Amino acid sequence: MKAATEKRNERIWATICDIPEGSVASYGQIAEIAGIPRGARQVGYALRHLPKGSKVPWYRVIQASGNIALKVGTRAFNEQCKRLMMEDVAILNGRIDMKKYRWQPDLDELLWKPSAAWDDDE
């Protein structure tokens, strides 16, 4: 069971790494792309269990509504806002315009993404 959870988390983290700079994706969108239908909560779980010092751009994952999921005013909320603003993602009252900043990968990007090269199943 633990190995399956680790493998799922790795798929989620790899998908998050594919989000380009200056774009965001929702928890549900990441789950769908990672092959975990209706797995938005599992994405949140995977993000909570990121290894310390990880390079996964966790801050690019937000709620489908465009809201940042973290509590306003917390250190983590402020860090997420700072990192997104450094990538020129505009935030107004803790909300991001999903029509403007949502990652919308095309089929080629999904099929030939860089993270597919380090899939250890083969």
Residue 120 pLDDT: 44
Q: Tell me if 96 is assigned to some domain.
A: yes
The crossing angle, in degrees rounded to 10, of helices 2-17 and 40-48 is 90
**CATH assignment at residue 53:** 1.10.10.10
Number of domains in the chain: 1
Task: Per residue of the chain (122 residues), give pLDDT as tens.
Answer: 688 888 999 999 999 999 999 999 999 999 999 999 899 999 999 999 999 899 999 999 999 999 999 999 999 999 999 999 999 999 999 899 999 999 998 877 767 665 544 444 43
Q: Tell me if 39 is assigned to some domain.
A: yes
Residue 40: give the domain boundaries: 2-102
Residue 105 pLDDT: 87
